[in-house]
């Protein structure tokens, strides 16, 4: 046998070429599978060429690394044929990898075909030497080389299939995979070479018309490097534009989403809901379904959460509520957020009872406690249901009526659902009418104040009054504040109305002083909207000046939750009011969530225990414990303690014993007009504090 030898440099080059070829091949697989139509075909053709040429040049450089003690050359025809075989098997491999799936059977068959192809290329390339007599192959090593080719092909196909998507991480995986694949290809080649034995006296039949070894090596290496470089650059540019296109696509769908979705909860917004409602109406009219239902949901107590915990927690709560609604609804239902704490669900109930069942599940799910940023928060939902076509013929009508039903659910005690009924419509119209009439009420001088005595515990004398607003409407009769104040607050009308109250209370107090009631004070209620309104301090100051009333005779009652809302801002306003010399009273105390630290900073003079604790008050019960705790707290902070809602003698006695300084309630006097207050006092013969005794 002829002794064989290898050039170390060229072997190293052949390994490098194999690795580069593998990397190019993996890249190409990525390109082909992310392209479509004609582009995919072009990538497949280009990829097959680059990869096939790569594998072939590895083989060829490996051949050139090999030397025999005789001169060797290669026959162009067979060399060209081996290149064609390499390209064809690459094309086949790329095609396999770019299919949607790679089941095991296809992987195995693919590996066999591709491995056979590579082996065919190799042995055709060997044949290009046209040795005389022929090369003798060791059957075992020959078989091993073919096996390696198939195993390497299988691994390559599997890896390429896995790594065909372009992502940032894939680049590193591809580099690693190329190293493995490169080594496998090289392994196959040199095993194949080892299988070859050249009998003594062999000579190379291609020696005369072939090319010379050294120049061939340089040429093949340069050309293959150039092919890889071009393939890789083009492929990377394409990947880049592809990624750009994908991110543009994503940005675009994000934009579409933003315009139709609520940014906070990502639910569809009013616009999208309107569109869905239109579609649902059309579908129903075409007869493809019988009816559909609109569920209007509004949270109960959401405003309180915002006031007490701030808007951030409020936002998180809304996100969580949205999640619970989405979980509760069925897949095909549309849920939208209209804004604030209002959500709408569009459903396709088989029967109206389905809508009721869903509404009930929603109420239950939303009503469970929330754990948000380590706070346990409670809200409930009221749901109104309107059914098309029964309860409205247009989107607008349906929404109005579902909303009216929701209000009805709220009136019935919240945390429940309610179907729309015709009667509610008149209710909605009444609300509208009320609003219009309220607007005219100030100018029409329809407001008046009633005054309720505040007396020293247990029996008096009377030390002041609380002014309570009444609306004497020619149409609606004497309207209590509960019926129009929420409306006035929602519409902002509370500001001019409240300013009128302050002015009128100061006027009346001055009047009483003129009658000799020099030590009385008058309490005026302030709502949240008023406290947040910039002009409040000026309004109070000018009312005091206009009526020449000493500020210490005016008390401003602010509910605990009003004071807590935007606590820092409230503090500034309350401080300015206190500087004027007016007293601050914390109303409805015990219902909010004041922190003691905050309470200490408030410039308050008085705590009014909420009526709720007084109503059920009895010796030794919970309410009694709460009242005495509030009293203890008030005393520590140096505050006067007022109990309101005192209706019975027992309450009067107990509250006095628990330490309340001042009592207020029907037992001690109902709210009455000013004249009536003075006449009833006179009739009772009590001598109010400050009345000059003759």
State the residues that interact with ligand C2E by CB under 6 A. 452, 468-469, 480-482, 485, 498, 501, 525-527, 557, 587-588, 644-647, 665-666, 671
Minimum gap (Å) between residue 651 Cβ and Ca ion: 15
Q: Are 428 and 422 in contact (CB under 8 A)?
A: no
Residue numbers 504-543 binding Ca ion by CB under 5 A = 525
Give the residue with the Cβ less far from ligand C2E, 381 or 462.
462
Minimum gap (Å) between residue 485 Cβ and ligand C2E: 6
C-alpha closest to that of 493 among 459, 547, 454, 447: 447
298 lies in the site for Ca ion, by CB under 5 A: no
Distance of CA 439 to the CA centre of its chain: 39
Could you say which of ligand C2E, Ca ion, none residue 274 binds, taking C-beta under 5 to 8 angstroms by partner kind? none
Give the residue with the Cβ less far from Ca ion, 437 or 557.
557
Minimum gap (Å) between residue 540 Cβ and ligand C2E: 13
In order of 311, 529, 567, 582, 595, the CA distances from 601 in angstroms are 22, 21, 10, 17, 10
Minimum gap (Å) between residue 382 Cβ and ligand C2E: 22
Could you say which of ligand C2E, Ca ion, none residue 521 binds, taking C-beta under 5 to 8 angstroms by partner kind? none
Minimum gap (Å) between residue 616 Cβ and ligand C2E: 12
In order of 10, 365, 479, 524, 540, the CA distances from 530 in angstroms are 89, 35, 21, 12, 11
Q: Are 293 and 332 in contact (CB under 8 A)?
A: no
Could you say which of Ca ion, ligand C2E, none residue 310 binds, taking C-beta under 5 to 8 angstroms by partner kind? none
C-alpha closest to that of 437 among 477, 401, 468: 477
Give the residue with the Cβ less far from ligand C2E, 606 or 644.
644
Give the residue with the Cβ less far from ligand C2E, 238 or 588.
588
Could you say which of Ca ion, ligand C2E, none residue 367 binds, taking C-beta under 5 to 8 angstroms by partner kind? none
With contacts defined by CB under 5 A, name the span among 125-133, 413-421, 579-587, 651-659 that binds Ca ion: 579-587
- DSSP of 538-593: HHHHHHHHHTT--GGGEEEEEEHHHHHTTHHHHHHHHHHHHHHT-EEEEEEETSS-
Minimum gap (Å) between residue 467 Cβ and ligand C2E: 6
Could you say which of Ca ion, ligand C2E, none residue 527 binds, taking C-beta under 5 to 8 angstroms by partner kind? ligand C2E
Give the integer Cα–Cα distance in Å for 123 and 56: 11
In order of 520, 547, 576, the CA distances from 551 in angstroms are 12, 11, 13
Q: What are phi and psi of 493, to 5 degrees?
A: -65, -15
Could you say which of Ca ion, ligand C2E, none residue 485 binds, taking C-beta under 5 to 8 angstroms by partner kind? ligand C2E
Minimum gap (Å) between residue 392 Cβ and ligand C2E: 34
Print burial letters for 569-579: b (CB count within 10 Å at least 16), e (below 16).
ebeebbeebbe
560 lies in the site for Ca ion, by CB under 5 A: no
Give the integer Cα–Cα distance in Å for 619 and 597: 30
Could you say which of ligand C2E, Ca ion, none residue 192 binds, taking C-beta under 5 to 8 angstroms by partner kind? none
Give the integer Cα–Cα distance in Å for 360 and 8: 81
Give the residue with the Cβ less far from ligand C2E, 161 or 451.
451
- SS3 at position 463: strand
Minimum gap (Å) between residue 672 Cβ and ligand C2E: 10
Give the residue with the Cβ less far from ligand C2E, 73 or 561.
561
Minimum gap (Å) between residue 501 Cβ and ligand C2E: 4
Q: Are 462 and 439 in contact (CB under 8 A)?
A: no
Minimum gap (Å) between residue 645 Cβ and Ca ion: 8
Q: Residues 468-507 vs Ca ion: string with x where CB under 5 A? A: ----------------------------------------
Give me the residues paired with residue 297 across strands.
343, 383
Minimum gap (Å) between residue 495 Cβ and ligand C2E: 10
Give the residue with the Cβ less far from Ca ion, 508 or 525.
525
Give the integer Cα–Cα distance in Å for 348 and 351: 9
Give the residue with the Cβ less far from ligand C2E, 262 or 557.
557
Minimum gap (Å) between residue 450 Cβ and ligand C2E: 7
557 lies in the site for Ca ion, by CB under 5 A: yes
Give the residue with the Cβ less far from Ca ion, 262 or 588.
588
Residue numbers 586-615 binding Ca ion by CB under 5 A = 587-588
Long-range contacts made by residues 80-85, C-beta under 8 angstroms, separation at least 24? 81/124, 82/56, 82/120, 82/121, 82/122, 82/124, 82/125, 82/128, 83/52, 83/53, 83/56, 83/121, 85/117, 85/120, 85/121, 85/124
Give the integer Cα–Cα distance in Å for 311 and 595: 18
- DSSP of 648-689: SHHHHHHHHHHT-SEE-STTT---B-HHHHHHHHHHHT---T
User: How many residues in the shown chain lie near Ca ion by CB under 5 A?
Assistant: 4
Give the residue with the Cβ less far from ligand C2E, 211 or 569.
569
Could you say which of ligand C2E, Ca ion, none residue 469 binds, taking C-beta under 5 to 8 angstroms by partner kind? ligand C2E
In order of 144, 310, 493, 663, the CA distances from 371 in angstroms are 66, 15, 36, 39
Could you say which of ligand C2E, Ca ion, none residue 666 binds, taking C-beta under 5 to 8 angstroms by partner kind? ligand C2E
- Residue 52's Cβ-count burial label (10 Å; 0-12, 13-18, 19+) is buried
Give the residue with the Cβ less far from ligand C2E, 217 or 526.
526
Give the residue with the Cβ less far from ligand C2E, 217 or 536.
536
- Contacts with Ca ion by CB under 5 A lie at 525, 557, 587-588
């Amino acid at each position: 046998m002829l002794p064989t030898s290898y050039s170390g440099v060229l072997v190293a080059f052949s390994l490098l070429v194999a690795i580069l070829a593998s990397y190019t091949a993996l890249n190409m697989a990525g390109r082909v599978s992310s392209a479509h139509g004609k582009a995919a075909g072009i990538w497949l053709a280009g990829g097959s060429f680059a990869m096939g040429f790569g594998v072939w040049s590895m083989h060829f450089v490996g051949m050139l690394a090999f030397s025999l003690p005789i001169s060797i050359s290669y026959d162009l025809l067979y060399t060209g044929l081996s290149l064609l075989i390499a390209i064809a098997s690459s094309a086949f491999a790329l095609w396999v990898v770019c299919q949607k799936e790679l089941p095991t059977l296809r992987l195995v068959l693919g590996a066999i075909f591709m491995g056979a192809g590579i082996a065919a290329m190799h042995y055709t390339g060997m044949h290009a030497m046209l040795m005389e007599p022929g090369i003798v192959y060791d059957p075992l090593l020959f078989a091993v080389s073919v096996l390696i080719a198939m195993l390497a092909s299988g691994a390559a196909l599997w890896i390429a299939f896995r790594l065909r998507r372009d992502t940032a991480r894939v680049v590193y995986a591809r580099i690693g995979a190329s190293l493995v694949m490169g080594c496998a290809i090289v392994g196959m080649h040199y095993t194949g070479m080892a299988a070859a034995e050249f009998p003594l006296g062999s000579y190379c039949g291609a020696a005369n018309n072939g090319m010379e070894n050294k120049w061939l090596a340089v040429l093949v290496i340069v050309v293959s490097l150039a092919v890889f470089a071009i393939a890789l650059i083009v492929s990377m540019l394409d990947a880049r534009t592809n990624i750009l296109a994908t991110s543009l696509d994503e940005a675009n769908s994000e934009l579409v989403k933003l315009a139709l979705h609520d940014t906070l909860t990502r639910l569809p917004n009013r616009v999208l809901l309107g569109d869905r409602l239109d579609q649902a109406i059309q579908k129903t009219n075409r007869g493809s379904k019988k009816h559909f239902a609109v569920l209007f949901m509004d949270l109960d107590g959401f405003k309180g959460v915002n006031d007490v915990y701030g808007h951030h927690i409020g936002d998180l709560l809304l996100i969580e509520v949205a999640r619970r609604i989405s979980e509760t609804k069925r897949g095909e239902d549309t849920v939208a957020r209209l804004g604030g704490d209002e959500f709408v669900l569009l459903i396709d109930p088989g029967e109206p009872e389905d809508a009721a069942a869903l509404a009930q599940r929603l109420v239950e799910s939303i009503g469970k406690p929330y754990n948000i940023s380590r706070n346990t928060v409670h809200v409930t939902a009221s749901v109104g249901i309107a059914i098309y076509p029964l309860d409205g013929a247009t989107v607008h009508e349906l929404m109005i009526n579902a909303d009216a039903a929701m209000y009805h659910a709220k009136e019935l005690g919240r945390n429940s659902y309610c179907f729309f009924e015709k009667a509610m419509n008149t209710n909605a119209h009444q609300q509208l009418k009320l609003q219009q009439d309220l607007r005219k009420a100030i100018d029409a001088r329809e407001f008046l104040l009633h005054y309720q005595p505040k007396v020293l515990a247990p029996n008096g004398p009377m030390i002041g009054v609380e002014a309570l607003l009444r609306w004497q409407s020619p149409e609606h009769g004497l309207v209590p504040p509960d019926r129009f104040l929420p409306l006035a607050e929602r519409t902002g009308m509370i500001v001019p109305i409240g300013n009128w109250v302050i002015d009128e209370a100061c006027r009346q107090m001055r009047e009483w002083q003129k009658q000799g009631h020099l030590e009385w004070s008058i309490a005026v209620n302030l709502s949240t909207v008023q406290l947040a309104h910039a002009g409040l301090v000026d309004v109070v100051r000018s009312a005091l000046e206009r009526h020449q009333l000493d500020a210490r005779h005016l008390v401003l009652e602010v509910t605990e939750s009003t004071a807590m809302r935007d606590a820092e801002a409230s503090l500034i306003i309350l401080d300015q009011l206190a500087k004027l010399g007016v007293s601050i009273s914390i109303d409805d105390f015990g219902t909010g969530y004041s922190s003691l630290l905050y309470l200490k900073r408030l410039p308050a003079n008085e705590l009014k225990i909420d009526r709720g604790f007084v109503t059920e008050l009895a010796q030794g019960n919970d309410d009694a414990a709460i009242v005495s705790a509030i009293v203890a707290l008030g005393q520590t902070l140096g505050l006067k303690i007022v109990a309101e809602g005192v209706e019975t003698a027992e309450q009067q006695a107990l509250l006095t014993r628990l330490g309340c300084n001042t009592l207020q309630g029907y037992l001690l006097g109902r709210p009455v007009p000013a004249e009536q207050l003075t006449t009833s006092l006179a009739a009772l013969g009590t001598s109010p504090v400050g009345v000059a005794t003759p």
